[in-house]
Amino acid sequence: MSNKLISQMGLPPSLSHVFAARSIITAKDALSLPEFDLMALLDVPLAHARSAVARISEIACPPYQTALSLMEDRAGSGGHLPTMLRGLDDALCGGIPFGALTELVGPPGIGKTQFCLKLSLLATLPACYGGLNGRVIYIDTESKFSSRRMIEIGENSFPQIFRSEGLAPKMAGRIIVMRPTSLSDFTDSLQQMKLSLLQHEVKLLIVDSMAALVSGENERSEGGPGRHPLRSSLSFLKSLAEFSRIPVVVTNQVRSQSKDEAYYHTFQEERKDNCQNSEKFESHLIAALGIQWAHAVTVRLVFEAHSGQKFIKVAKSPMSPAIAFPFIVESSGISLLSDEGIDVTGPEINTIRNQGQNILSQ
């Protein structure tokens, strides 16, 4: 909408010629200027400039919908990719939501990639088995995608399909793996993808992992004038998810928390020292991409390990309270030990723990 041409907005011809002469071509050009500057630049009376701005705004503004019609639209296009983990599906009202960004964050080796592999399988399954019967684009930045492991997961979770019908090649053939080597590479392929998503019936986009693309990038530069390299791909991913109505899943790494990491507002100063210190020792991991990234994801699932078990935690979701499920990784992929979640409260929701994962003791 922001690139709509002013010449086609039905302004009085004299005015629209002046816009063209001053090379104010799109709505974006016109609306970025204050009314007075616009008046001076166009050399027209203020009233004309005002009415032109009002007209341009009206046209550049996307149409509204009532929430009711929005709900009817969404009901038609389906809403969720079931993870086949019953407890998690219940908590998320059916699974990974369409049209939104879902983030998996956790320490290395905990099972994020396993989860992604399972999701890609599920998206390719025929609808009669609860899948989406579509293609999957898997952007593998860490070279961790393993076809063999994926087939193994498939054979063990859906033996009836994979053994008797011999669908394995067909399923695997629907998963397109991309291996960009740099951030610019990645942004390029995203741009190309825009069209192909709809043409090829892509039903799931996975980026594993997002953080690898920007590792070494200091989060603190975010507040400063420096342009954060992720910003553009972030909003692009979101719009991709929304307009193609597909789920987009990205994984995120963890990094150690530095001492001066901010967790408090200035008015909370006094509390900082006395009560939170004990907790700080435990939770020394934080998500690698910074707080701005965390704002942008719609659903955040934290994978963590403590008290000798691994947990999937719904840390941010507009639909669900914070809730954690113990899980194990087995030959059929991730499975929950219990479909009854454990309620999580307070700052624990956002901590990422990685303890008691000693393999020898198990």
Partner 1 sequence: MEIANLPISASQRSKLLSAGYATLSSLSSLSPSHLARDLNIELQEALEILKVVSDAADRSKSTDGHHQALKGVQTAWDMLSEEQMQQHITTGCEDLDHILRGGIHCGEVTEVGGVPGIGKTQLGIQLAVNVQIPVEYGGHGGQAVYIDTEGSFMVERAHQIAEGCINGILDNFTDHDRKILACQEWMQPNSFLSNIFYFRICSYTEQIAVTNYLEKFLKEHKDVKIVVIDSVTFHFRQDFDDLACRTRILSGMSLKLMKLAKTNNLAVVLLNQVTTKYTEGSFHLTLALGDSWSHSCTNRIILYWNANERYAYIDKSPSLPSASAPYSVTSKGIRNSTSHCKRVRMM
Q: For the chain, how big is the Rg over CA atoms in Å?
A: 24
Asked whether the beta carbons of 114 and 104 are under 8 A apart, the reply is no
- Quick one: 10 or 166, whose CB is closer to partner 1? 10
Q: How far is the CB of 172 from partner 1 (least distance, A)?
A: 32
Q: How far is the CB of 282 from partner 1 (least distance, A)?
A: 15
| 170-180 core/surface letters (b: 16 or more CB in 10 A; e: else) | ebeebbeebeb
Q: How far is the CB of 54 from partner 1 (least distance, A)?
A: 6
Residue 292 to residues 7, 258, 345, 346: CA-CA distances in angstroms? 37, 17, 22, 20
Asked whether the beta carbons of 327 and 305 are under 8 A apart, the reply is no
Asked whether the beta carbons of 157 and 125 are under 8 A apart, the reply is no
Cβ neighbours of residue 204 closer than 8 Å, sequence gap 6 or more: 81, 119, 120, 123, 132, 134, 136, 137, 246, 247, 248, 249
- Quick one: 142 or 348, whose CB is closer to partner 1? 348
Q: How far is the CB of 276 from partner 1 (least distance, A)?
A: 8
DSSP-based three-state secondary structure for 113: helix
Q: How far is the CB of 146 from partner 1 (least distance, A)?
A: 32
Asked whether the beta carbons of 76 and 269 are under 8 A apart, the reply is no
- Residue among 85, 166, 175, 198 at smallest CA distance from 121: 175
Q: How far is the CB of 329 from partner 1 (least distance, A)?
A: 26
DSSP-based three-state secondary structure for 80: strand
Q: How far is the CB of 10 from partner 1 (least distance, A)?
A: 15
- Residue among 341, 265, 280 at smallest CA distance from 85: 341
